[in-house]
Amino acid sequence: MKLNDLAIIGVTAATIASCAPAKGDYASYELYPVRSGSLTEMVYTPEATTFTLWAPSADEVKVLIYDNGDGGVVCETVDMTAAKEGTWTASVQKDLMGKFYTFNVRIGEKWQGETPGINALAVGVNGMRAAIIDMDATDPEGWDEDVRPALNDPSEVILYEVHHRDFSIHPTSGIVNKGKFLAMTEQGTKNPAGAATGIDHLKELGVTHVHLLPSYDYASVDESKLEENKYNWGYDPVNYNVPDGSYSTDPYDPSVRIREFKQMVHALHKAGIRVVLDVVYNHTFNTESSNFERTVPGYFYRQRPDGSYADASACGNETASDRPMMRKYMVESVKHWIREYHLDGFRFDLMGIHDIETMNAIRQAATEIDPTIFIYGEGWAASAPQLSNEELAMKVNTHAMPGVAAFCDEMRDGLRGPFNDNKQGAFLAGVPGFEESVKFGIAGAVQHPQVLIDSVNYTQAFWAAQPTQMISYVSCHDDMCLVDRFQASVPGADAAEMARLDMLAQTAVFTSQGVPFIYAGEEVMRDKKGVHNSYQSPDSINAIDWNRKSLNATVFDYYKGLIQLRKDHPAFHLGDADLVRKHLEFLPVAGSNVVAYRLKDYAGNDLWKSIVVVLNARKEAVLVGVPPAAYVVVAENGIINQRGLRSLHGDDVSVPAQSALIMFEL
């Protein structure tokens, strides 16, 4: 959305200025009026800039104009006038291009404190003041011709979760703009051994979507002290609709972060890769001094029965998505990122705090712009939110949110062990009893007659209506990476064993009917020195050492082969629950820690008549019975070759220890 594109904004300065006063006293949040049209707070023209703030409980509101994004004195203070639908307006009749502004709201005798508003689209350093800029001027060369890479169906999505600093900060990355948005625009970067890094690495790997950890303006990194190299994942929101300045080359110039974020998206799109943004609408960094609270105290957060702030996020507050203006805000924010930044998807942090109606409204709004936009999230909360479970976007309610996916922790922890005990293993560590949890994930969390739901961890129900509503994964940022997990849960595991288990784990992920997701660096066997929650750890813990790509070339090649295998064979991503039940057949296996299945009868119009997959987590080879036929083995002992590794004929197959075997029927 362009600040000076009135047709897109849906509101003009004249319309705002002519609003009739309608302020009143509101006894409860349910009585607050809902602002119609756009939530835009500033409309610029060279002749005048008009400000509009939704503050229905205010007794007085002022706009403060500054020359700088931080420091300096107020240049001008402008009184706002109460208008319709709980808004306040003011118009400054001169050219304010390049200026900065804040609002200050008085309720009773108390001034709430300066805020850039709830909907700033450009900000100065550290996001304390909103900026008046020409958004059109932030478009990089070719932006008008930017197009989303082709995506025929959500079943084709392959997600790669990455933090900007992790990806590029290590000296071995060969990237110039380390830790910046621009890192993903550089081509031809290599590690010391000559292996591709950066965007070329992503193209070589074959992922379809890069999932960026939070990249909006967040609190925990001081943009004015970037020489400190303070690290954070970014789950502490301040301004939801502006890129964070710490990833830009100049956090003081509000245009730079916007332009460089767009350059990154444009470069990824040209490389055939879509872009997902991790969004954290469920809580804010602080409460009393947040933009929400300083604008309309209490409204944007849920309260406990005693009036205190609810805290299902475990971060001090939980936002009230069920209240009309918070819901509207979330929908408008997502639309802004799609339109202004051409984003292709969103991952919702602690999605279980939000209500189902809001998530469905977001899905509908995204679909109206582009139905291929992919939406998924964490189907849980840190503790019970202040709504009934039936209202919440919890994992168990995923079936009620068509086109929204949730992470499958049943499969994750069934493979590698529970989140709350790093030393406890599961299927991969040779611990029996997790086979049904793995099968649940293989089937994409949809109802399947061969999955014994009573034996699946964490759930007693098939919660996905379609397999594309399940995110298949074994690790992510807020947990141990696989190397660290294996070191903790598989005593005595050496590098060779960890590599075998790594490849076995991802075979389950990439042959699952769910949507596969990997944590950046797993394909080169990154480690984080055993740190489970590295959100404040330094680069020495979080950075991906790109030497590992050369040291673990076999593992990288296996990942690349798995991704290509999935892309080439629709049997692995049927995308429809009925087709999964029709074509996916689990094969009988004696004993524990082995899962075997086949995709039969040319599943998904595949070229191969049937495909057999065996996952063997035992420390010895296993003999598995298969339907009698002639087969060609395409994956075995950590090597993938779709032209065939060997042929066999019979009714059983031997699968080496701690490995996967994939073969197709001639």
Residues tagged active-site = 349, 378
583 DSSP assignment = H
Listed in sequence order, the residues at least 6 apart from 37 whose beta carbon sits closer than 8 Å to its beta carbon are: 10, 11
- Nearest C-alpha neighbor of 385 from the set 342, 418, 341, 353: 353
Listed in sequence order, the residues at least 6 apart from 306 whose beta carbon sits closer than 8 Å to its beta carbon are: none
- DSSP for 228-295? G-------SEEEEEEE-GGGSS-TTSHHHHHHHHHHHHHHHHHTT-EEEEEE-TT--S-STTSHHHHH
Q: Are 566 and 510 in contact (CB under 8 A)?
A: yes
Backbone angles phi, psi at 157, to 5 degrees: -70, 135
CA distances to 143, 169, 174, 339, 343 from 266, in Å: 7, 21, 21, 13, 10
CB atoms within 10 A of CB 306: 5
Q: Are 402 and 363 in contact (CB under 8 A)?
A: yes
Q: Taking each helix axis from N to C terminus, what angle separates 495-511 and 435-442, rounded to the nearest 10 degrees?
A: 50
Q: Are 379 and 183 in contact (CB under 8 A)?
A: no
603 DSSP assignment = G
**Maximum Cα interatomic distance, the chain, rounded to a whole number of Å:** 86
Report the C-alpha gap between 552 and 115 in whole angstroms. 49
Exposed/middle/buried for residue 71 (C-beta within 10 Å: 0-12, 13-18, 19+): exposed
Q: Are 549 and 173 in contact (CB under 8 A)?
A: no
Instruction: With residue 639 as reference, give the H or E element that holds it.
Output: strand 639-640
3-state SS assignment for residue 225: helix
How far does Cα 460 stand from its chain's mean position? 26
Q: Are 549 and 537 in contact (CB under 8 A)?
A: no
The radius of gyration computed from the CA coordinates of the chain, to the nearest angstrom, equals 26
Amino acid at 92: V
Q: Are 448 and 512 in contact (CB under 8 A)?
A: no
410 DSSP assignment = H
Report the C-alpha gap between 474 and 507 in whole angstroms. 11
Q: Are 436 and 373 in contact (CB under 8 A)?
A: no
CA distances to 146, 187, 210, 275, 343 from 268, in Å: 10, 11, 8, 7, 11
Q: Are 231 and 528 in contact (CB under 8 A)?
A: no
Report the C-alpha gap between 415 and 424 in whole angstroms. 11
The total number of residues shown for the chain amounts to 666
Pairing of strands 130-131, 100-107: antiparallel
